[in-house]
Structures are given as C-alpha cells and as structure tokens.
C-alpha cells in the first residue's frame, strides 16, 4: 500500500470524532460466544524493538515450545520494523514476510499466534517521548493523526490475514496502555481499532490489554467481544529486582526480594495479596463472559531463584484456579526458562541451550 492510499484512508478515518461519537463497532460477541482457551506459552521478541538488523523468527523456538507442551506465542512488534516515526505512511511491506512465516510456524507446530503492537504510532510503554505525537495525551489533531496510523496498520494486518482462523491467530491491539484516571480515551481508541479490523475481517479474535499498564480491567469495551489481557509482574520488587529500566518509585521496597515480601509501607505481599490485587478486580469482568489472559509475566534473573520460584508458584496456582493462561516475557533470556544467566541455578543442557529445569517443571505443574 502506498502513501497515496494511506492518505486516502487517513482522510476517511479522520472523519471519526476524537471523542468517539459516531463510531459504531459491530460486536463479535453478538455473533457467537467468545472462546479463548487456557493458552500457555511465551513472548517471542524478534520484532520487539524494531532497531538493529532484521531478525527472523527461529523455528527452533516452536520446536521447543511444542516439545515441552506449550501452545501460545505472543509476538510483540514495534511499528519501527516497517515504518518510521518520521513518516508513519511509508511502509516496508517486505517486513510482513516474516509475520507470514511466524503464522505458518504456528500452524505447523499447533501454537496459537498472538500479534501484539508493542509500539504504535504515538505510544510505547518504553520511550514514549520518542514518538512525534502522543496517542493518549496531545492535541486532538495529533491524537487523531496517531490513531489514524494505528487503524491503518491494523487494517493492513486484518486484510493480509483474512481467512486465517482465529484458532490460530489473534490480534492484541496496544501493549500496556498508560496509567489514566479514567478509561474514556482508551475506550475510544479500542473501539476505533476494532471497527477498522472488523471492516476487513469480521471474525478476527481480538485482545485488548487492560489500562494502567495492563493492570486494570476496561468495562467500556465489554460489548465488543474482546479478550482482555492482564500482567503478572507485581510486586515489582520481586519480578524486576535491580532492573535499571524500571522507575525507582515502582518498587515496593529498597531491600532484597523475599517471598512473602514486606514493603517499605508495611504491606505484606503474599498469595492472599496477589489474589486481592491481581485476581479479584477481574472477576466482575469474567462474570460478563470476558476471557482474561496474562499477556506478560516473569521474573528477572537478579532475583534469587528460590524466591522467584516461590512467587511464581503462587501466581500460577491462582491463575489455574480462575482458568487464565499466560505468556512469559521470554522463552530464551533473562526472564525465561532457557539461557537466563542466573548465578544460582544449576542448568541442564538442552538442545545446545541452558535449561532451568526447576522453573520448567513448575510451569508444567500448573
């Protein structure tokens, strides 16, 4: 699709009100009951940053996931892979051959592919200020320009993969929308994106992350027939101990992680606290028939292994109780079961990698 077509599409989409009035989105839930199995798997990060040399997806990852009994691959993507913040309209369509490939790998190995936009025009949880406009907090004109670009990209994905069954492929609209006092703007964005997708592919299965960086359910979109995605990173003092990219005020304590954990404010983080903070707020949504999935979770490799496993066991048992699946942040790497570079683990050789057997067996137990 060339710049002229983008501008034509953008002018049509620009007629949509920034306030969301006039946006009429067909509800998938009115057509058929929403189903989302308890998928369990990993995020695969080949398209996560959009910087550096182009990285293909590795078939070995799918061989490993299938061999170990996992059935879900979330694919976080930055639009920088196919366009630029300097020009959202100029798309490198050769990039999408890699997405064709990962969907085919999912088909071959019976692993559900969940395409996620980790960076969209106007927003990313990492380096938000690197965008020329802000999708959520800017002038009405700039917010609409960003939204038009995101709609266009999702329409492109929807048209390209029309006919691929939703048992194999789903779309996750925007990774970790920001903290916000109320959900109005995010609801407007989601409704516009869903409308764009369903104009091309009415039956596509769609996932929307909770607001507040995935932590809070969104009730203004329950009529759309969407899965909602949450996170499994709390408390951050356990999951991200010493992680330099995390703001200091995100940590519950400045001390070393333990499980259960006592925060500097005196709060005790234990299994009951996880249930109260991460599970209970989502139950009213589930009563409305909305499936919930944990799109990201895991524990950075600087947390002592025994602490990480104890915390993970409580989370996994809670998710199993309510029927939630999950995707760990990586398969291979600092949060994963392979090549995590922990200094307190005796690794097992596996396919030329270093396997954290204890962590793997814990995942398989739940």
C-alpha to C-alpha distance for 257 and 303, rounded to whole angstroms:
7
Model pTM score: 0.91
CA 347 – CA 339 distance, rounded (Å): 9
1-14 burial: b if 16+ Cβ within 10 Å, else e: eeeeebeebbeebb
Taking alpha carbons only, the member of 261, 343, 336 closest to residue 302 is: 343
Q: Two tokens at 202? A: 């009415």
Give me 188's structure tokens: 């407007």
Residue 1 is predicted with a pLDDT of 35
Alpha helices (H) in the chain, listed in sequence order = 3-13, 59-68, 96-109, 140-160, 184-200, 211-214, 236-239, 271-274, 283-287, 305-322, 357-365
- Dihedral over alpha carbons 117, 199, 103, 178 (to 10 degrees): 10
Strands 40-43 and 205-209: unpaired
Q: State the number of CA atoms in the 13 A half-sphere of 161 facing the CB.
A: 30
Please identify which residue in the block is written with the tokens 């996560």: 48
What's the rounded Cα separation, in Å, for the pair 218 and 208?
9
- Any idea where the domains of the chain sit in the sequence? 3-20+38-365
As a whole number of angstroms, the distance between CA 77 and CA 175 comes to: 9
Question: If we measure between CA atoms, which residue out of 87, 89, 94, 84 comes closest to residue 50?
Answer: 84
Which of 148-176 are b and which e, b meaning 16 or more Cβ less than 10 Å from the residue's Cβ?
A: bbbbbbbbbbbebbeebebebbbbbbbbb
- The residue among 331, 345, 328, 241 whose CA lies nearest residue 293 is 328
Could you list the pLDDT tens digit for every one of the 366 residues in the chain? 332 333 333 333 333 333 333 334 444 445 567 889 999 999 999 999 988 788 999 999 999 999 999 999 999 999 999 999 999 999 999 999 999 999 999 999 999 999 999 999 999 999 999 999 999 999 999 999 999 999 999 999 999 999 999 999 999 999 999 999 999 999 999 999 999 999 999 999 999 999 999 999 999 999 999 999 999 999 999 999 999 999 999 999 999 999 999 999 999 999 999 999 999 999 999 999 999 999 999 999 999 999 999 999 999 999 999 999 999 999 999 999 999 999 999 999 999 999 999 999 999 999
Distance CA 297, CA 61 (A): 18
200, 157 contact by CB (below 8 A):
no
CB atoms within 10 A of CB 126: 13
Q: Is 87 helix (H, G, I), strand (E, B) or coil?
A: strand
Provide the CATH number for the domain formed by 3-20+38-365 in this structure: 3.20.20.80
Q: Residue 193 and residue 117: Cα distance in Å, rounded?
A: 12
């Amino acid at each position: 699709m060339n710049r002229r077509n983008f501008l034509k599409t953008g002018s049509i989409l620009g007629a949509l009100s920034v306030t969301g009035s006039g946006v009429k989105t067909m509800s998938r839930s009115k057509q058929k009951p929403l189903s989302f199995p308890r998928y369990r798997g990993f995020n695969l990060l080949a398209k996560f940053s959009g910087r550096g040399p182009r990285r293909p997806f590795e078939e070995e990852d799918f061989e490993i996931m299938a061999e170990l009994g996992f059935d879900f691959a979330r694919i976080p993507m930055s639009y920088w892979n196919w366009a630029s913040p300097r020009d959202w309209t100029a798309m490198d369509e050769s990039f999408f051959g890699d997405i064709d490939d990962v969907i085919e790998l999912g088909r071959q190995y019976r692993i559900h592919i969940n395409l996620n936009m980790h960076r969209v025009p106007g927003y990313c949880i990492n380096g938000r200020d690197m965008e020329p406009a802000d999708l959520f907090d800017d002038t009405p004109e700039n917010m609409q320009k960003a939204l038009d670009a995101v709609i266009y990209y999702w329409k492109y994905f929807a048209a390209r993969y029309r006919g691929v069954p939703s048992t194999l492929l789903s779309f996750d609209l925007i990774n970790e929308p920001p903290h916000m006092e109320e959900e109005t703007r995010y609801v407007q964005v989601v409704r516009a994106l869903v409308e764009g997708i369903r104009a091309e592919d009415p039956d596509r299965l769609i996932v929307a992350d909770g607001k507040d960086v995935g932590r809070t359910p969104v009730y203004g979109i329950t009529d759309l027939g969407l899965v909602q995605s949450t996170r499994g990173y709390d408390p951050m003092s356990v999951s991200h101990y010493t992680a330099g990219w995390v703001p200091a005020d995100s940590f519950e304590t400045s001390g070393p992680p333990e499980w259960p954990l006592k925060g500097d404010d005196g709060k005790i983080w234990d299994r009951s606290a996880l249930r109260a903070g991460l599970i209970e707020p989502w139950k009213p949504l589930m009563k409305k028939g909305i499936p919930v999935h944990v799109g990201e979770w895991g524990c950075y490799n600087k947390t002592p292994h025994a602490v990480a496993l104890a915390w993970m066991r409580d989370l996994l048992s809670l998710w199993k109780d309510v029927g939630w699946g999950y995707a760990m942040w990586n398969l291979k790497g600092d949060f994963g079961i392979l090549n995590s570079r922990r200094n307190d683990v005796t690794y097992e050789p596996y396919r030329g990698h270093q396997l954290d057997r204890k962590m793997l067996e814990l995942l398989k137990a739940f």
